[in-house]
Amino acid sequence: MRTRTLLSLLCGLPLVLLAFSNTPFVRRAGVPTDDNGATCTACHQPENGTGRVTLDVATYTPGETQTIHVVITDPNASRWGFQLTARPLDDTTQEAGTFTPVDPTLVMVRCDDGTSTGSAAPCNGLREFAQHVKAPSSTGGSYTFVVNWTPPLQEVGKIAFYVAALAANSDSTPTAPTGTTYTAVQVVPLSPNTACSNTKTPNLQRVVDAAAFTTNLASAGLWTIFGLDFETSNLKRTAGPGDLDNGAFPSVLACIAVEVNGKTVPITYVQTDQINLQGPSAAGPASVVVVSNAGKQNELRSIMSNVTVQPLAPAFFTFNGTSIAAQFANASNVVANPSVVPAGQPAKPGDIITLYGTGFGPTDQPVAPGSLATGISRVTSPVTVTIGGVTLAPQDVLYVGLSPGSISGLYQLNVRIPVSIPNGDIPVVASAGGAQTQSGTTIPVKSPQ
pLDDT by residue (tens digit) across 51-104?
899 999 999 999 999 999 999 999 888 889 999 999 999 999 999 999 999 999
Inform me whether the pLDDT recorded for 20 exceeds 50.
no
Can you give the C-alpha Rg of the chain in angstroms?
27
Q: How far is Cα 237 from Cα 271, in angstroms, rounded to an integer? A: 6
Phi, psi of 138 (to 5 degrees): -160, 160
Q: By CB neighbour count within 10 A (0-12 exposed, 13-18 middle, 19+ buried), where does 237 fall? A: buried
Burial class (CB in 10 A: 0-12, 13-18, 19+), 153: exposed
CB-CB contact of 296 with 308 (8 Å): no
Confidence band for 192, pLDDT divided at 50, 70 and 90 = confident
Higher local confidence (pLDDT), 176 or 122: 122
At 171 the pLDDT is 59
Q: Do domains 2-188 and 203-310 have the same CATH topology?
A: yes
**pLDDT over 90 (residue 174):** no
pLDDT at 139: 83
Beta carbons of 293 and 299 less than 8 angstroms apart: yes
Domain residue ranges of the chain, discontinuous segments joined by +? 2-188, 203-310, 315-445
Give SS3 for 19.
Answer: helix
Mean pLDDT of 6-26: 42
pLDDT tens digits, one per residue of 340-367:
999 999 999 999 999 999 999 999 999 9
* Nearest Cα residue to 168 out of 20, 279, 287, 3: 20
Kindly report the number of other CB atoms within 10 A of residue 76's CB atom: 14
CA-wise closest residue to 314 among 266, 381, 371, 375: 381
Average pLDDT over residues 386-413: 97
Where does the pLDDT of residue 176 fall: very low under 50, low under 70, confident under 90, or very high at 90 and above?
very low
Higher pLDDT, 181 or 400: 400
pLDDT at 170: 67
Residue among 48, 54, 82 at smallest CA distance from 180 = 48
- For the chain, what percent of residues have pLDDT higher than 90? 75
d(CA 95, CA 126): 7
Contact 23, 116 (CB under 8 A): no
203-310 domain in CATH 2.60.40.10?
yes
Distance between CA 252 and CA 274 in Å, rounded?
A: 15
Q: Do residues 318 and 440 lie in contact, with contact meaning Cβ atoms separated by under 8 Å?
A: no
Judged by DSSP in three states, 246 sits in coil
* Percentage of residues in the chain having pLDDT higher than 70: 91
pTM: 0.82
Contact of 217 with 313, CB cutoff 8 Å:
yes
Task: Confirm or reject CATH 3.40.50.360 for domain 2-188, answering yes or no.
Answer: no
Buried b (16+ CB within 10 A) or exposed e, 16-37: bbeebbebbbbbbbbbeebeee
Mean pLDDT of the chain: 90
